[in-house]
Amino acid sequence: MKTILLASVAVLAVPGMAHAAEAESAEGGEIIVIGKADGYLATDSVTATKTDTPLLDVPQTISVVTRERLDDQASRSIADVLRYVPGTTVGQGEGNRDQITLRGQNTTADFFLDGVRDDVQYFRSLYNIERVEVLKGPFALIFGRGGSGGIINRVQKTPSTDALAASATGSVNTFGAWDVAADINAPLGEKAAFRINAVYENLDNHRDFFGGERYAINPYLAVDLGGGWKAGLSYEYVHDDRVADRGVPSIATAAGQPNRPIEGYRDTFFGVPGVNRTGLEAHILKARLDGDLADNLNWSTTLLYGDYDKFYDNVFANGAATGQTGTVALADYTDPTTRQNFIAQTNLVWDVDIGAVTNKILMGLEYADQDSTNQRRDLILSSNTLDLANIVYPTATPGALQRDTASKVKVFSAYVQDQIGLGRHVDLVVGLRYDRFEIDGIDRIGTPRPFARTDERVSPRIGVIIKPQDNISLYTSYSQSFLPRSGDQFLTLSTTQQNLAPERFTNYEVGAKWDIRPDLNATVALFRLDRTNATTPDPNNVTATINIGATRTEGVELALTGRITPDWQVSGAYTYQDARLNGNDAVALAQVPEHQFALWNRYEATRKLGLGLGVIHQSSQFAAIRTAPTTTRLPAFTRVDAAVFFKASDRLELQLNVENLLDETYFSDAHNNNNISTGAPINARLTARVAF
C-alpha cells in the first residue's frame, strides 16, 4: 500500500504528468452539496441544521475555515486550524491524538466527518477536506451525546462533473518535514464523477528524537441516478506512525505561586527514544444516498463503517522538576485500542407552507453500534527519574497489565426540527432529540467484572432570529447536550460511575450577524454555558477523573471574515472567556485563556504576488483545573506568522509560509501540569502547487 501510494503521488507531482485544472466545486457540477464559499467567507452550511441553510439564519456561533484559507495558512492538522479560531484551545492529547477545549469543555471525541461521528482518538489530516466547521455551544439536537462545548466537523472534498482536473502539491520545511499530495477529479459522463485524494507526509519538528510518517488515500465515487436521486461512495485508508511526545514538565516558582513550564529545555525529550511511539491504521467506508420523494420532500441516508487499530507507548514526566538542573520523575504505560464503528443516519426534510408561515421540517433517525477493546500495561523502567544535569535515558520493558476491557455501545436517536419563517423578519428554530445510550462491557483484570448502564435523554434546542434587514440577523438561542458516565471513549465504567447520572450542558446565547457586503461578514455573540454533574481529569493522576460539581463558562466572541477590498482578505476574531467552578471563583477550568485574538490577512500586491500576515495572541491559562495555588500556569504569548504567494504561471504556484516570524519563546499547549508542549522556533515551509 505504501509503495503504490508513494509512486502514484510522486508521478502526479511532476508537472508534465498532470492533466487538468484543479477541481473546484461549482454548483452546476456538484452531485453532493457541501456548502458554498467565496474565498475565506462561507455563506451557508449543511452542518449546523442538517439542511442547506445560510449562516445568517443559524442562531448559534459557527466558525468556518474554507479550503482557500487552509491552503494559505499551510495547515496540516486540526491543531494548525484551531490556532486561528479563538474560543477553541488545542490540547496536547498525550502526543497521540487531537484533543481540544471548546467553551471550557475538554474533549477527545467531538469530531465529525460530514456530520457523522468520528470519535476515535487519532490525529486527523486535511488532505481530503474542503473545509472545517467549528460549531460552538452544545449541539445534541443535531449531533447527539457529547458536543458539550461544541463540535468540529470536517467537510470532505466531493467529486464534480464539471471537468477533468488534477493537481499536485509538495512542501518541505526547515525542520526537514516534507509531504506530497495529489487530487484528481474525473467526470464519468454527465451523471457521474470520481475523485481521488492521496497524501504522504514525512514528519519532523524542533523536538529531539521526534519523527514519523503518515500516508492516506481516499477514492470517492458520486453518481446522479436521475429523478432527483444521487449516491456517493467513499473509502479512506489511513496509516500513521510517529513518536509520542508529551513535552516538558513544570518547575516551582515562589512559594504559594503557580508552577511554570521549565525553560531552557525547549527541544529536550522527556521520554525514552525508541519506546515512545503511537500508531494508527484505519479503514473508513462511507455511503450516502439522497433523493426527492416529492417536490418538497427530500430523503437522505448516510452509512459509515470504520475499523480502527491504534496503540501508543508513552514515557513521560510525572511531576515537577526539583530544580533547573535537578531531577524529574517519570511514569509510563502502553495502551492499544481497537474500535469498530457502524453508524446509520437517515433524514427527511419537508418544505411546507401553512398560510404565510414557511416550515422546513427535519425528521431524523440515527443508529450506532460501536465495539471497543482496550488494554493498559505498565512499562518497567531501569530508572524512574531523569537527571537534568546529566540526561541518560532509561530502558523500558513490558510490565503488569493494569486494564483489559471490552465494551459495546448501542445508540438509538430520533429527532425533529422545524425552521419556521414568520414573514420576512422573524424565524424560529425549534427541535427535540431523544437518545437512548446503552453500554455493556467487561473488565477482565482479576475477577472479571461486568459493567452496564442505559441512559435515556431528551435534548431541546430553541432559537429566535429577527432580521430587521435581509443582511442582518439578531438571535437568541437555548440548547442542551449530555455526556454519559462512560466518558467520550466509553472504555469502562467504575462501580461508582454506574450509579451517576450523565453530565448535562446548557448553553444560552445571544448574538448578531451582519453581511456588511456579500463578501464581508461580521458577527458578535454573548454566551453562557452551564455544566452540571461535572468531571475533569485528575491533575494528580493522569489516568483518573474527579467530580467537581457544576461549572460555568461565560464570554463574548467577535469575528470579521471576508474581503475588506477586492485584493485584501481577512479572517479575524476575539474571544473573552471566564470559566470557573460555580460558587468558587478560585477554581478556574483548565486550558481556557481569558483572552484570545487571531487575525490572518492575505493581500494581492500584484496579479502574481500575494502577501500574508497573521497574529495569534493568547493570554495565560492553567494547564490543569486550578485546585491548588501551585497549579501550573502557561504564560501568555503572541505569535506572528507571514506568507508570500507567487503565481509563476497558470499552472504553477509557489508559497512560502514563515511560522513564529519573531522567534517568540512560548508554550503552545498542555495535557496536564507536567506535560507541556513547547512552541516551535521560527521556521519556514515552501510549498509548490501544480494544476492543469
pLDDT tens for 266-317 read 999 999 999 999 999 999 999 999 999 999 999 999 999 999 999 999 999 9
CATH of the domain at 133: 2.40.170.20
Q: 396 and 332 in contact (C-beta within 8 Å)?
A: yes
Work out whether the CA dihedral 358, 462, 343, 312 comes out positive or negative.
positive
pLDDT tier, 338 (very low <50, low <70, confident <90, very high otherwise): very high
pLDDT at 544: 53
530 pLDDT more than 80: yes
pLDDT at 537: 57
pLDDT tier, 494 (very low <50, low <70, confident <90, very high otherwise): confident
319 pLDDT more than 80: yes
pLDDT at 536: 60
pLDDT at 139: 79
Higher pLDDT, 549 or 339: 339
Overall domain count for the chain: 1
Pairing of strands 212-226, 192-203: antiparallel
Mean pLDDT of the region 621-630:
92
CA separation (Å) from 46 to 103, 429, 436, 481? 23, 15, 25, 20
CA dihedral 123, 129, 133, 138 (to 10 degrees): -50
Mean pLDDT of the region 354-373:
96
Nearest to 71 by CA among 169, 158, 163: 169
d(CA 180, CA 197): 11
Q: 509 and 525 in contact (C-beta within 8 Å)?
A: yes
SS3 for 4?
Answer: helix
Q: What is the mean pLDDT of the chain?
A: 91
Enter the C-alpha cell of residue 487: 466518558
Share of the chain above pLDDT 90, in %: 82
Q: Which domain holds residue 537?
A: 2-691
196 pLDDT more than 90: yes
Q: What is the DSSP string of 67-121?
A: HHHHHHTT--SHHHHHTTSTTEEE--GGGSS--EEETTEEESS-EEETTEE--SS
230 pLDDT more than 50: yes
